[in-house]
Amino acid sequence: MTRTVWLKADSEVGDWEARKRRITAGLEAGVDWVLVDEHDVERVRELGAVEVAAFAHGDVQVLEAEGEEPAPDATIVGKDGEGDGTVDLPADFSGSADLSALRANGGGDGGYVRIFDENYEAFAEAVAAEADYTIVVGEDWQIIPLENLIARVGEETHLIAGVQTAEDARTAYETLEIGADGVLLDTDDPDEIRRTVEVRDEAGRETLALQYAEVTAVEQTGSADRVCIDTANLMDHDEGMLVGSMSRGLFFVHAETAESPYVASRPFRVNAGAVHAYVRTPDGGTKYLSELQSGDEVQVVDSEGHTREAIVGRAKIEKRPMFRIQAELQREDGETDRVETLLQNAETIKVRTREGRKAVTDLEVGDEIALYYEDTARHFGEAVEESIIEK
């Protein structure tokens, strides 16, 4: 599931200068959507590239034509209507003006509902049946109505929960272990906006179960074309990437964050191995190191298995002397499996062992080395169920 952050920036926020400051902070932080009134759509687009949703007033079919306001990416009904309590809910939802407006718009775009009580919760469920996006803002209660809606609406709509802090967003993303699809953030604090975007990113990342395998061979080989992955992101001391000659067993290779008497640290770099090797990507797939180029995304992992994405700035290929590292681990079925990779013969390349970071030049038979094991074959980087022998 792809999580989203929507930023509330309509007239309730203040005048245009106040709204502009909030929107600018959101653009800088990386929000996905900005929710405004119709007359601000073009103003937002002039500030930067972002999806723009607009509250509808009157006819929800906002068409972009000469002399008219530009059309938003999504039209939201409910403000100054039944959704926010301005107009009383009808006893029978079949007579709802908001629902009629959604249907008139082809059942697309979205609805906005403030949850005052169980009747508005039921109304939000009815909106979800018609809308691509359903924005719900809890009043006295937040968690219980959100739990109920997550359980009832399923995947028929993109459910967005109103929040005011990053911690509120974390709770919304984690509710019922399924979570809301997105959050509508209502704050002027640039730091809170940035933290909410960080929570969004964390919610979409996987945590990998790293294992330790016993090193059974460390051999010098001849020279080969090796790849340094230089990213546009700085890595921490306990971070690196998963690389290997065999897709089922990828070794944890640390970023070059350590200082040495001879070489300055390069916390943006992982010296990843030979051109034939795989590196894991954020979508759970793999790429050959030789395929990497500027703008690609690779997966960064820390020693606990937490992951994030990094952008490749360049892939630097040079001929260097190499080590062949072989390791064995016990599979769940009790059988032993062998995995291996090639890494440059240099003190600056460090792998993860039970004892911590260790230079490949110091690695010995019997050491236990960290890797990610997945008993799955790969075809063009995608997991497939077929028998493939890698030697």
pLDDT in tens, 183-210: 999 999 999 999 999 999 988 788 999 9
What does the pLDDT look like over 154-170, one tens digit per residue?
Answer: 678 999 999 999 999 99
**What domains does the chain contain, in order, with CATH numbers?**
4-204 (3.20.20.70), 211-381 (2.170.16)
Q: What is the pLDDT of residue 391?
A: 62
Q: Is the per-residue pLDDT at 66 higher than 70?
A: no
Q: Of the candidates 307, 318, 237, which has an alpha carbon nearest to the alpha carbon of residue 279?
A: 307
Give the separation between CA 116 and CA 62, rounded to whole angstroms: 29
Band of residue 259 on the pLDDT scale cut at 50, 70, 90: confident
Neighbours of 15 (CB within 10 A): 8
In this structure, what DSSP letter does residue 191 have?
H
Find the mean pLDDT for residues 37-64.
81
- 139 or 267: which carries more pLDDT confidence? 267
pLDDT at 107: 58
Cα 205 to its chain centre, rounded Å, is: 5
Tokens 């990779």, located at residue: 341
What Rg value do the Cα atoms of the chain yield, rounded?
Answer: 26
Mean pLDDT value across residues 255-273:
90
Q: Range with the lowest mean pLDDT among 61-70, 83-92, 173-182, 224-233?
A: 61-70
The amino acid that residue 38 corresponds to is E
**What 8-state DSSP symbol labels residue 257?**
-
Mean pLDDT of all residues in 269-288:
96
Q: pLDDT: is 386 or 327 the higher one?
A: 327
